Amino acid sequence: MPERLSHIGICVADLPRSRRFYCDGLGFRERARFESSGDATARLLQLDDVALSALYLERDGVCIELLHFERPGHAGPPEARPMNQLGLTHLSLRVSDLDATAERLREAGGRILPETRIAHPELPVGALFVLDPDGTRIELVKSPGPLDRVPGEPQAS
C-alpha cells in the first residue's frame, strides 16, 4: 500500500517561465531543485540521452514537479489538451475572485480561456479555465462554503 502522495509531474518548455507562473501566479513555493542525467535516469524515464532539471514546488501540502528536458527536449505543442484525452486533465484551485486570479495568472504568463467561464445566476459560484505557459489546464473555482468538500456534494449527516 502506498504511504502517501509524493508529487505530480508537469513537463515544461521553460523552467524560469513556469516557475513564475506557478509561484507568482498560483502561490506555490520552491521546495527543492534536482538535476539528473545518465543511464539510470534514461531507464526510469524511458528516454535516450536524457538530461533534465526539475523544480519541486509546494502549496497546501501538494507538491508539483516541473520537469525541463535539456535533452531530448520536450514533445507536443503548448495547447490545451481535450478534457476527454486520457491522462491528467487539469489542476483545480479554489479562489475568492475569478477575475482577479485569472488576470494575475495572465500577467504571470498564462492564457485565459474566457469561453470556458460558467456562473450560477443565483449563487456566488463560478469556474473558469486558464492555461499555464505550456498548455496545462488550471481550473479556477469560486464557491462559498467549507474547503473540505466538493461544491454540490451532499454533506454527511
Q: What is the pLDDT of residues 105-127, one digit of tens each?
A: 999 999 999 999 998 877 788 99
Domains for the chain: give ranges and CATH numbers.
8-71 (3.10.180.10), 90-142 (3.10.180.10)
What is the per-residue burial (b if ≥16 Cβ within 10 Å, else e) of 62-73? ebbbbbbbeeee
Mean pLDDT of 10-19: 96
Q: What is the pLDDT of residues 38-62, one digit of tens each?
A: 999 999 999 999 999 999 999 999 9
| Confidence (pTM) | 0.86
Residue 147 has pLDDT above 80, yes or no: no
Mean pLDDT, rounded, of the chain:
91
